[in-house]
């Protein structure tokens, strides 16, 4: 008889608000310090020392903010959808809190990606905005983030709000491959992806290495922001529990 597969212990521990609060307290410095170092080094290297592009000149340097924010906006959305699915299936409160916390952070990243893309597009395309497939799908991503956040804010019952937000997030997942492959599926103005796993970057190392540092720095910063927002949500929802009361008294 086949042995029944069980979920690992840490997966169920994630359902405990107190466990998440304690473990995130230990993890925060491990992400905060690399975030600062990577972002500072990447920004200084990319903005001050990387060579200018032979076609776009110094205007290309906005890539060091635009690409990380665009990539992370998509990753954050996928995390939000996965957390929402975990909440729907296993009824884990922490997963719901993570999904809720992802929405405003992801929306901010989407706004940053769209804004920097517009700034980059003006000297490149001669316009702040064009109804390009990549830009339009990124705008839809922003609306999806806003929609999830509005559902959490508008529905008083937190269980129903989490379920509604999770369903919208899961439906919106169809937009992620559209964003990624839009430049290949349609004739667009937007340039292809800067990095591909199967191909060597077209940029020289002195240009793409600081970009890699910025992407890693953005991910570390996102982890810090997500843990802080989720910790605040944990304290709000668990404010009547004994362990939170002890934290309040100890402070």
Residues 160-197: pLDDT tens digits? 999 999 999 999 999 999 988 776 665 665 566 665 55
Q: Spell out the alpha helix ranges (H) of the chain.
A: 9-13, 17-44, 63-90, 93-125, 133-154, 158-171, 175-185, 205-237, 242-250
Give pLDDT tens digits for 127-162. 888 888 888 999 999 999 999 999 999 999 999 999
Cut 0.85: pTM above it: yes
Question: For 80-95, what is each residue's pLDDT tens digit?
Answer: 999 999 999 999 999 9
Percent of the chain at pLDDT exceeding 90: 67
Q: How many CB atoms lie within 10 A of CB 211?
A: 21
Neighbouring CB atoms inside 10 A of 228's CB total 15
Find the length of the chain: 251
The residues facing 99 across adjacent strands are none
User: Would you place residue 7 in the very low, low, confident or very high pLDDT band (cuts 50, 70, 90)?
Assistant: low
Q: How confident is the model at residue 1 (pLDDT cuts 50, 70, 90)?
A: very low
pLDDT of the residue at 65: 96
Average pLDDT over residues 5-29: 83
Q: What is the CA radius of gyration of the chain?
A: 20
Distance CA 235, CA 107 (A): 23
Q: Return mean pLDDT, the chain.
A: 89
Residues 6+ apart with CB under 8 A from 182: 133, 134, 137, 188, 190
Q: Residues 155-164: contacts with CB within 8 Å, 24+ apart?
A: 158/96, 158/237, 162/84, 162/87, 162/96, 162/99, 162/100, 163/87, 163/88
């Amino acid at each position: 008889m086949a042995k029944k597969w069980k979920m690992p212990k840490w997966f169920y521990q994630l359902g405990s608000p107190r466990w998440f609060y304690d473990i995130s307290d230990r993890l925060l410095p491990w992400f905060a310090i690399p975030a600062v170092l990577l972002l500072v080094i990447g920004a200084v290297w990319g903005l001050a020392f990387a060579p200018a592009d032979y076609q776009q000149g110094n205007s290309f340097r906005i890539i060091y903010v635009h690409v990380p924010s665009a990539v992370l906006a998509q990753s954050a959305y996928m995390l939000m959808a996965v957390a929402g699915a975990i909440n729907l299936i296993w009824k884990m409160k922490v997963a719901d809190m993570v999904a809720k916390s992802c929405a405003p952070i992801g929306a901010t990243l989407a706004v940053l990606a769209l804004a920097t893309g517009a700034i980059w597009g003006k000297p490149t395309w001669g316009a702040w905005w064009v109804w390009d497939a990549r830009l339009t799908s990124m705008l839809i991503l922003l609306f999806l983030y806003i929609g999830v956040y509005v559902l959490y804010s508008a529905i008083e019952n937190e269980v129903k709000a989490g379920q509604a937000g999770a369903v919208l997030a899961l439906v919106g997942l169809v937009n992620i491959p559209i964003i990624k492959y839009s430049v290949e599926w349609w004739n667009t103005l937007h340039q292809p992806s800067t990095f591909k796993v199967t191909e060597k970057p077209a940029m020289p190392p002195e240009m793409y290495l600081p970009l890699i540092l910025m992407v890693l720095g953005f991910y570390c910063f996102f982890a810090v922001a997500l843990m802080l927002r989720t910790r605040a949500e944990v304290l709000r929802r668990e404010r009547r529990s004994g362990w939170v009361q002890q934290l309040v008294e100890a402070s």
